Amino acid sequence: MQESPAGGRIYPLMASALPMNPPDANPLHTRQSLLGRLKDWEDERSWRDFFETYWRLIYSTARKGGLSDAEAQEVVQETVISVAKQMKEFKYDPAVGSFKGWLKLITRRRIADQYRKRKPHEVGLADAATDAGTRAMDRLPDGAGDTADAAWEADWQQSLLDRAVELVRTQVSPRQYQIFDLYVLRQWPASQVAASLDISTAQVHLAKHRVQSQIKKEARRLEKTFL
Please tell me the predicted confidence (pLDDT) of residue 37.
79
**In the prediction, which pLDDT does 137 show?**
52
Q: Are 226 and 28 in contact (CB under 8 A)?
A: no
Distance CA 64, CA 157 (A): 16
3-state percent breakdown (helix, strand, coil) of the chain, nearest 5: 70, 0, 30
* DSSP 8-state class, residue 13: T
pLDDT at 70: 96
Query: Given this model, what pLDDT does residue 29 score?
Result: 42
Domain boundaries, the chain: 26-147, 171-227
- Per-10-residue mean pLDDT of the chain, 227 residues long, equals 41 41 40 69 84 92 94 96 87 73 92 89 50 52 50 88 94 97 97 98 98 94 74
pLDDT given for residue 10 in this prediction? 39
C-alpha to C-alpha distance for 104 and 137, rounded to whole angstroms: 12
pLDDT given for residue 24 in this prediction: 40
Paired with 97 in beta bridges are: 93
Angle at the Cα of 214 from the Cα atoms of 210 and 215, rounded to 5 degrees: 115
Is 171-227 a domain of CATH 1.10.10?
Answer: yes
Entry pTM: 0.68
Helix 44-64 and helix 99-117, axial crossing angle in degrees, nearest 10? 60
